[in-house]
Amino acid sequence: APQPARCRATTTCPYCGVGCGVAVELEQDQDSVRIVSLSGDVAHPANHGRLCVKGSALAETLSADGRLTMPQVRDEAGVLREVSWETALDLIAARFADLSRTHGGESIAAYLSGQLLTEDYYVANKLFKGFIGTPHLDTNSRLCMASAVVAHKRAFGADAVPCSYEDLERAELVVLVGSNLAWNHPVLFQRLKQARIDNPLLRIVVIDPRVTDSCEIADLYLGLRPGSDARLFNGLLAYMADRGRLDRLYLKAHTQGFDAALKAARREDCSLAAIARDCDVDVERLETFYYWFATQLHVVTLFSQGVNQSTSGTDKGNAIINCHLAGGKLGLPGAGPFSITGQPNAMGGREVGGLANQLAAHMDYETPGARELVGEFWNAPNIPQGPGHKAVELFAAIERGEIQALWIMATNPAVSLPDSTRVRAALAACPLVIVSECMADSDTLAYADVVLPASSWSEKDGTVTNSERCISRQRGLLAPPGEARHDWWQLAEVGKRMGYQAAFGYSGPHAIFREHARLSGFRNVAPRHKAGSKPLAASSIRRLFNIAPLAELDREGYDALRPIQWPVRRGEKGELIGTLRLFEDATFNTPNGRARLVPVTPQLPHQALSDATPLRLNTGRIRDQWHTMTRTARSARLMNHRAEPFVELHPQDAAARGLQDGALAQLAGRDEQGSVRGDYRARVRISHGQRQGEVFIPMHWNDHFASHGRAGALLAGLVDPFSGQPESKHGAVDVMPL
C-alpha cells in the first residue's frame, strides 16, 4: 500500500492574544489529512518556538465528536431540524429583507467574537454596516479590551498599541497591572521570566488584589484594594512631579493636558500615606514602586482585564498612560503602556471596525469624511448615521423589542455576558436568533432559531492580529466536518441572496484580505497636523494602521505570508517591512500631533457591597481553560488543572461562614430590587493570596459542564460610560455553605 505523505505547515494558536505560531506535521493519504504532531513555531516572533499547555493540547481537541455538522432550523413545534444550506441561507436573507422593509435595517444586529478571523470580521462589518444598514454590530471583545481602545484613542488619537513583546526583554522595569500573565498569557510570562534571568537588573512589579502565580517572578508585589488603580497612578503622576522626575522637554514638545491631569490627581491628598491608605497597600512598598517607575526610563506597563473590566476602566488606562507620557517613557525600546488582549483576534476585529462605535478601518462615525469614504469604497447603499449599541446595551435593546433579529458568531453570550440570566431571557424573546457555531455544547444554541455549523481552528483560513499588532496567518489545514462552512462564506452567501452579488462575490479569504488591506490605504494621505481640535480626516486617520502594501499579495503571497506588524511599508527593494514600535517620532494621531494626558478622577466600583452581598467578587480565567470551555474541556489533560468550578476565599472569610477547604458553597448576588441574582455552586479553595473581603471564581463553566457554574449570572450589567465594557472584576456577592 502507498505510504501516507507527510508535510509541515505553520499556523497560529487560537487561545489568547499572545498569538503564538504553531508548527504542525500533517499526514495525508487518499481519504484524509491528519495532524500527527504539533509544536511551537520557532520562526514566529511572538513565541520563538514556545507553547503553553493550552497551545500544546490543541491537537487533543480536534475530534469530530461534538461538532455541529448540518444547518438546522427550529420548526413550529420548537424542535431544531436539519436542513440544507440553501434552505437556511434563503430563510435568513428573506427574514432580513423583510425586517429591513418593515422595521428598518436597525432592527437587525450582530454579536461577533475575537475568535473570528479578520476576514470573517471584515465581511460581517461590510454586510451589516454597509448593506443591511445597521450600526448594531458588536463583539465579545467588548468584554476584553474596549476600555484600552478608548484610552488609546483619548491619549494617542488612535487605537494603537505602541509596544512589541521584545520590549519586555529590553525594559529595566516591567509593571503588571491587573494581569495574571502566568495564567492568561503564559508564553509572554515565559519570555518575561527568561528576560529576568538574562538581565539581573530587570525588575518586575505585580499590582493585583490577588497573589497570583505571576508573583513568582515579582521583585515587588502591591496587593491593592480592588478598583483603586486610578488613585495609585494619579499618585504616581504627582510623585513624579514632586520629585522632579517629569520629562519636561517631552511634555512641552509632544503632549498636551499635563497641567489638567496633574490638577485632577492633586484633588485628593497625594501624600504617600494617604495613597497607601486609599489603595490599602504598604507605604514602603508603594514608595519603592513609585521610585522605581520615576527613576527608570525603560518601563513597560502591561495592563489587562483587571484594569479594563471596570466601570472606570477607560480612566484607569489613561491614568497609566499619563504616567508614561509624563516621563517620556514611550516610543523607545523597552518603554510604553502595553494593553494585552485576551483573545487571539481582538486586535483584528478592531482593525476592520468590528466594534459598534467604529465604522471601518480604524475610522469612527465621527471621523470627518469617513462615511462617504467607506460608502464609496464598498459601493454601499446604507452606511448608518452613527454608532450602534455596545454589547450590554445591545441585549437590553433586544429585551426592549427594538432588535428583531440577531446573528451570533463564535461566542456563547448565554454564559459569558454579565447578568446572563437576563441575556437568556432577551434571547428567548428575540424573534430571530441565528447562531454560527462549531461546537454542539454551546449554551446559546438553546435560543437559536437557525443554527449554522461553522469551521473551527485548523479548518479556518485567514489572518489574526495579536496584542503586538502582528498579523499572522491562521491556516486551513483540515477539511471541516460534514457540512460545516467558514463564517465569512455564510455571511457572503446571505449578502448575495439579499441582492448584493458584486459586493460579496469573494473567491476566498485572500480576496477579502486584499480588499481589507486596500481600504486601509484608500485615499490615505499623510496627516496634516495643525492647531485646534478638529479631528483628522478619514483620508489621513489611517496612517498608523496602513497595511495597503499587503493588498498587492496574490493568492500564493497571501498563503505564504509571514508574521508582520502593522503599519506595513515597502522597502527600497520592494520588501515588506513591518513596524516594531509606534510613536518613535513622538508624533501622534491627534489634530495637532500631540499626545493627550487625560484628567482622571478615581472612582470605586459601581456594584455596591451591602449586608446581603458583603464580598467583592472577582471573576477571571484559569490557566488551562478557554472561554466557556466548549473546546478546551475536550482535553483530559487540560481538565486536570481544575476539574470543577471553585471559589477562592480568604481564610477568615471562610471561617466566618463555617467553610473549610474543599467544602461546597453557594454564591449569590442581588439585583436592584433586592432579588437574588445568580446561583453559583462550587468547592471552596482557601487561599492566603486572596484579600479578606474578596472572592475569586473562574468565568469558564457553562451549563454542559456544571449545572451551577455560571459566573456571569452573578454580575450586574454595569459598564464603563466611555467604552461600554462591563465591570466583571467587581461584583458583589455573599458566600454560604451548601
> Which spans of this chain sit near ligand SF4 (rule: CB under 6 A)?
13, 15-16, 18-20, 47, 51-52, 54-55, 185-187
Q: Which residue is nearest to ligand SF4 (CB)?
A: 55
CA distance 735 to 715: 14
Partner residues linked to 204 by β-bridges = 174
Grouping H, G, I as helix, E, B as strand and the rest as coil, residue 360 is strand
CA distance 528 to 491: 37
Q: Which residue number, 38 or 433, has a Cβ lying nearer to ligand SF4?
A: 38
Grouping H, G, I as helix, E, B as strand and the rest as coil, residue 138 is strand
State in angstroms the smallest separation of the CB of 16 from ligand SF4. Answer: 3
State in angstroms the smallest separation of the CB of 152 from ligand SF4. Answer: 22
Cell of 677: 441574582
Grouping H, G, I as helix, E, B as strand and the rest as coil, residue 709 is coil
Report the length, in residues, of the chain. Answer: 738
State in angstroms the smallest separation of the CB of 139 from ligand SF4. Answer: 19
Q: Which residue number, 18 or 408, has a Cβ lying nearer to ligand SF4?
A: 18
Phi-psi sector, 547: left (phi>0), alpha (psi -120 to 50), beta: alpha
Q: Which residue number, 468 or 648, has a Cβ lying nearer to ligand SF4?
A: 468
State in angstroms the smallest separation of the CB of 602 from ligand SF4. Answer: 32
User: Which among 158, 164, 116 is positioned nearest to 18, based on CA atoms?
Assistant: 164
**Helix, strand, coil content of the chain in percent (nearest 5):** 35, 20, 45
Map grid coordinates 502507498 to a residue. 2
Q: Which residue number, 38 or 732, has a Cβ lying nearer to ligand SF4?
A: 38
Q: Which residue number, 51 or 548, has a Cβ lying nearer to ligand SF4?
A: 51
State in angstroms the smallest separation of the CB of 553 from ligand SF4. Answer: 24
Q: Which residue number, 469 or 616, has a Cβ lying nearer to ligand SF4?
A: 469
Partner residues linked to 205 by β-bridges = 175, 220
Grouping H, G, I as helix, E, B as strand and the rest as coil, residue 638 is helix
Q: Which residue number, 20 or 711, has a Cβ lying nearer to ligand SF4?
A: 20
Q: Which residue number, 546 or 625, has a Cβ lying nearer to ligand SF4?
A: 625
Partner residues linked to 74 by β-bridges = 80
Q: Which residue number, 153 or 185, has a Cβ lying nearer to ligand SF4?
A: 185
State in angstroms the smallest separation of the CB of 638 from ligand SF4. Answer: 11
CA distance 738 to 736: 6
Q: Both ends of the chain: CA-CA distance in Å? A: 61
State in angstroms the smallest separation of the CB of 41 from ligand SF4. Answer: 10
State in angstroms the smallest separation of the CB of 20 from ligand SF4. Answer: 3
State in angstroms the smallest separation of the CB of 187 from ligand SF4. Answer: 4
Q: Which residue number, 69 or 194, has a Cβ lying nearer to ligand SF4?
A: 194
Q: Which residue number, 187 or 541, has a Cβ lying nearer to ligand SF4?
A: 187
User: Which among 569, 685, 702 is positioned nearest to 628, based on CA atoms?
Assistant: 702
DSSP string of 7-43, one letter each residue: EEEEEE-SSSTT--EEEEEEEE-SS-EEEEEEEE-TT
Q: Which residue number, 47 or 540, has a Cβ lying nearer to ligand SF4?
A: 47
Runs of H (alpha helix) within 83-207? 85-103, 118-125, 146-156, 166-170, 181-184, 186-198
User: Which among 663, 662, 654, 697 is positioned nearest to 678, based on CA atoms?
Assistant: 697
Q: Which residue number, 57 or 363, has a Cβ lying nearer to ligand SF4?
A: 57
123, 492 Cβ separation under 8 angstroms: yes
State in angstroms the smallest separation of the CB of 630 from ligand SF4. Answer: 16
> Could you say which DSSP state residue 132 is in?
I
265, 234 Cβ separation under 8 angstroms: yes
> Could you say which DSSP state residue 97 is in?
H
CA distance 722 to 151: 9
CA distance 642 to 7: 36
State in angstroms the smallest separation of the CB of 241 from ligand SF4. Answer: 38
CA distance 550 to 554: 9
CA-CA distances (angstroms) from residue 540 to 130, 254, 525? 21, 19, 5
State in angstroms the smallest separation of the CB of 50 from ligand SF4. Answer: 7
**Residue type present at position 716:** A
State in angstroms the smallest separation of the CB of 17 from ligand SF4. Answer: 7
